[in-house]
Amino acid sequence: MVDLVVSLTPSTLPGADVRAAPRASGRIVCMPATDEPLARVVLIGGASGSGKSRIAEHSGLPLLRLDDFYREHDDPALPRLESGEVDWDHPGSWHLDRAADALEELARTGRTTAPIYDISRSASVGSREITLDGATLFVAEGIFVAQMIPEARRRGILDDALCVHRSRWVTMALRFARDLREHRKSPAFLVKRGLLLARREPAIVGALTDAGCRPVRVRSALRMLAHAPQRQI
């Protein structure tokens, strides 16, 4: 089945020209064909465990979690490590197109429906509706922000992009404690992943800044976004 995004001008009437484009989400969505969105997104990136979720949750802005667009555990397209295990930190483990569609739908219509992904099951377990409720800014956080920046910019919905960073060893310790607490994966897998990510972290931060993110510390990002609801497009 082909899913459609339909762009409508304010004067669209029966018989008027309507533009349609494929969509990955499984729904038909009508979006006004206007240059100015209702809201723009602040993308928050960083290594896993860097504090992205905390910052996004404390911002008080509508929040879309990019990690909810991970592939299902049985998807044959999942990238693999040399050990044969899934590389969940590879951009190929994630649906960029679906996440970008959801960001644009939220920015231009004021609402979207996003999946709820259970990392411990490596599967989607439901969905949630996200609404702007009049906000002119919203946040989206995840580990694949470097891939999302050019898409959000191309679609005309990007406001800002931040890269949260701190000592990689602090990040590793906090990530391990969180993942154990939430039973995300087996302890053995978490140890191997933690060491791998600690080695990769400088490259992760470098890719984010090269893509256009501003490097920030956790406290600076919290202060910055505390004033975001008052900003206007």
- Rounded CA-CA distance 214/125 in Å is 33
Are the C-beta atoms of residues 80 and 86 closer than 8 Å to each other?
A: yes
Are the C-beta atoms of residues 47 and 23 closer than 8 Å to each other?
A: no
pLDDT digits (tens, 9 = 90+) for 175-223: 888 878 888 788 888 888 878 888 888 888 899 999 999 999 988 898 8
Question: 189 vs 95, which has greater pLDDT?
Answer: 95
Given pLDDT bands bounded at 50, 70 and 90, which one contains residue 19?
very low
- Rounded CA-CA distance 218/209 in Å is 16
Which pLDDT score, from 0 to 100, does residue 27 have?
A: 54
State the pTM of this model: 0.77
SS3 (DSSP) at 211:
helix
pLDDT digits (tens, 9 = 90+) for 105-132: 999 999 999 999 998 899 999 999 999 9
Q: What is the mean pLDDT of residues 155-179?
A: 88
Q: Which amino acid is at 193?
A: R
Which pLDDT score, from 0 to 100, does residue 6 have?
A: 46
Q: Which of 9-13, 45-49, 137-141 has the highest mean pLDDT?
A: 137-141
- Rounded CA-CA distance 26/97 in Å is 12
Q: Which domains does the chain have, with CATH numbers?
A: 1-34 (no CATH), 35-230 (3.40.50.300)
